[in-house]
Structure 1
Amino acid sequence: ITPASMTIVFLSITIGTIMTMSSSNWLMAWIGLELNMLAILPIISKPKTTRASEATTKYFLTQAIASAMMLLSSTINVWQTGNWNILELKNKFSTTIMALSLMMKMGAAPIHFWLPEVLQGTTLQTALLITTWQKIAPVTLMYMISNNIQPTILVSAGILSMIIGGLGGINQTQLRKMMAYSSINNLGWTITIMAFSPNMALMNICTYIIMTTPIFLMMTNMST
């Protein structure tokens, strides 16, 4: 990949995230997430290895399914309410599907299976990108609809993520998988807090990103 191509890719990732965060319309938010997802695929597949190709495929399929669920949810809501506004997600079925799709995009339990496998097949820099920047857009959307999501769903998924993240990382010898389970564990806390104090949940994810970034950078320096 040429430097110009990488510039376009990173610009697309940034624009996609900002578009999703600043959007009040489900369709624009979905487009932002799609742009973000498609832009990171060349980065994951940059190492010309079988494992990288496998990670790219797993990431694409998982994110594509989550995007389809998200589009289905917003379409059902529009059918019921006639409104694309993100804050107007009133249909309970739509809200549940949307919550699950965002959890899948973030890598939270019970739809976390892809995250350790994808991180294991990527470079440390890409793993850093997936566990930090790629979470910002879905977490923002979950923050925006948190008042409409049933607290039981958030707390259940959060506690499950904590348990899986905590237990999954215990027996790991692979650093990237360990960081993946750490990410799942932190998402559990974020989602649980989201049910009670969305602002505190944002603070939690920001703290995680700030603390995780130097760890990945240190691991990168150690491996070179």
Structure 2
Amino acid sequence: MFFPSSYIIFIFTLLLGSIISISSPSWFGAWVGLELNMMSFIPLIVLKMNSYYSEAALKYFLIQALGSALFITSGFLSMSFLSISYILIFLALLLKLASAPFHFWFPQVMEGLNWPQVFLLSTVQKLAPMILLSYLMINNIMVKMIIFFSILSAIVGALGGLNLLLLRKIIAFSSINHMSWMMIAISTGDTFWFIYFIIYSFILFSITSVFFNLQVFTLSNLMQSDQNSIFINFNFILIFYLWVDYHPLQDLFPKWMLIQIMVNLNLYIPLFFLLFSALITLYFYLRIIILFILLLNPIMNFNMKYKSLASNIPMLMKTSFNLIGLLLPIYFLLI
């Protein structure tokens, strides 16, 4: 189990805060839900007395408190300056989402978390702010703003992941890059972004659960942890292959559908930047994948240990969801 049973109450209030924020009829109620969500996540960070966890919790609290202060301040301005109030709410939500150019805190906080907290911060903690962001798409100015910030997130997420060896930071910049695709989907006024979010959450869950079982945090740790088993090596290749934007697995299909939507709406310039950033991420993901492909050769592996397939089945089952995308073309052929 990822969290002790005594922390179930914090997980419950974490989800309750998101539900309150989403279903609230007023911005004040949304602020209350975001505050409950934030205060429930901090105890989940500091599960152990560790200086890294404490530092990550403090950084997260300060940034989220700044975003909440900006959020509630904009509520007072709504009575006199409605348009300025919406812009401030928009910026506060971007800060909570760690969207560029307010992404500076996200890799630093992720570096001090364990893998279950990494999953929660990248998925559950972003659900409520993203839904609130979709409520702000009321005029062309807000739509143009979210498109502009999505382009920035795509570029920052792609360039920031270059030459990184720390797995949590790679996931952090990958999350920023994926955020750009979801923000573009929000700007189209469609609920399609939620499908993208669900698929991304399943993929990230399979990745973080495998890394949590192995307790690896860098590429060097990853290469030293049973990398001499051909099944483990294949599993790592599959995991990193999932982060590549051009592959036949299920992460491709929401991107493919979103590209078609953007072409129909004549959003060619944002589409260019998103595809260009995807090519950059393709480079540094393949750089990692090629390393493990080379290690599949027993001659390249100097510490030979052979394990049965049965001992590796639990880890392979955690990534089995990611192979479902191979069956989707069959569905399209049957239509």
Normalised by the length of structure 1, the TM-score is 0.89
* Partner Cα distance (2:124, 2:190) in 1: 19
Partner of 2:132: 141
Counterpart contact for 2:146–2:183, Cα < 8 Å: yes
Partner of 2:281: none
* Partner Cα distance (2:131, 2:149) in 1: 17
Partner of 1:36: 37
Structure 2 residues not aligned, in runs of 5+: 217-335
110-119 vs 45-54, which moves further: 45-54
Return the match for 2:144 from 141, 152, 155: 152
SS at match of 1:150: helix
Partner of 2:13: 12
Partner of 1:76: 77
Please list, as runs of the form range in 1=range in 2, the aligned pairs for 1:21-170 lying within 5 A after superposition: 21-77=22-78, 79-80=79-80, 91-148=82-139, 150-170=142-162
1:53 positional shift: 1.2
Partner of 1:191: 183
Percentage identity across aligned positions?
A: 33
SS at match of 2:138: coil
1:118 positional shift: 0.6
Structure 1 residues not aligned, in runs of 5+: 82-90
1:221 positional shift: 1.9
136-145 vs 193-202, which moves further: 193-202
SS at match of 1:112: coil
Counterpart contact for 1:143–1:198, Cα < 8 Å: no
Q: State the one-letter code of the partner of 2:77.
A: I
SS at match of 2:163: coil
Counterpart contact for 1:105–1:138, Cα < 8 Å: yes
67-76 vs 27-36, which moves further: 67-76
Deviations 1:84-126 (A, max 9, x none): xxxxxxx221111111111111111110111111111010111
Q: Is 1:171 the equivalent of 2:158?
A: no
Q: State the one-letter code of the partner of 1:151.
A: V
Counterpart contact for 1:190–1:204, Cα < 8 Å: yes
* Partner Cα distance (2:85, 2:190) in 1: 20
Runs of 4+ with >4 A deviation = none
1:205 positional shift: 2.1
Partner of 2:194: 202
Q: State the one-letter code of the partner of 1:179.
A: I
* Partner Cα distance (2:91, 2:19) in 1: 22
1:193 positional shift: 2.5
* Partner Cα distance (1:161, 1:222) in 2: 30
Q: State the one-letter code of the partner of 2:22.
A: M
SS at match of 2:47: coil
* Partner Cα distance (1:48, 1:118) in 2: 16
Counterpart contact for 1:146–1:198, Cα < 8 Å: no
103-112 vs 212-221, which moves further: 212-221
1:2 positional shift: 7.0
* Partner Cα distance (2:183, 2:190) in 1: 9
Q: State the one-letter code of the partner of 1:52.
A: Y
* Partner Cα distance (1:202, 1:10) in 2: 21
* Partner Cα distance (2:170, 2:48) in 1: 21
* Partner Cα distance (1:152, 1:18) in 2: 28
Deviations 1:109-167 (A, max 9, x none): 11011111111101011111100100111011011222245222111110110111011
Deviations 1:58-84 (A, max 9, x none): 10000000011111112211x238xxx
Normalised by the length of structure 2, the TM-score is 0.61
Counterpart contact for 2:22–2:128, Cα < 8 Å: yes
* Partner Cα distance (1:198, 1:60) in 2: 32
SS at match of 2:80: helix
Counterpart contact for 2:20–2:30, Cα < 8 Å: yes
* Partner Cα distance (1:207, 1:170) in 2: 24
Alpha-carbon distance change, 205 to 2 in structure 1, aligned in 2, over 3 angstroms = closer
